[in-house]
Amino acid sequence: MEPLPGIPGRGFFAALEKRPFFGYHVSMIKVLFFATIRDYTREKETVAEGSGTVGDLLLELSDRYGGEFRDEAFDGDTISDRVIVLVNGRHIAHTGGAETRLSEGDTVAVFPIIGGG
């Protein structure tokens, strides 16, 4: 698809952000699930709306996938140390934790902690 005039390389959805008469733009975040996390989601990946935080996203996913996912993802009100969450390949411990901001096109990966030895 050719980019729209005045918005080089960004395509149609970028135009929606710039033109208020189209309504509002919904950011889409790709979420990937790995290993035993897939047992709770029953899928390898999904798409979620939002440009909030990682914590907001995990709460939304908890509502979608239920108690088992929530129990694995959270310890009370904080993100559990039983999961690893990456945003665009970077561990959230290095980007702000649960308060890491998400943007259009981000990819979030959720892994269980895996031990061995």
pLDDT in tens, 82-110: 999 999 999 999 999 999 999 999 999 99
CATH class of 24-112: alpha beta
What pTM was computed for the model? 0.76
> Which segments of 37-84 does DSSP mark as H helices, in order?
37-41, 54-65, 67-73
Domain map (residue ranges) of the chain: 24-112
Residue 47 is predicted with a pLDDT of 96
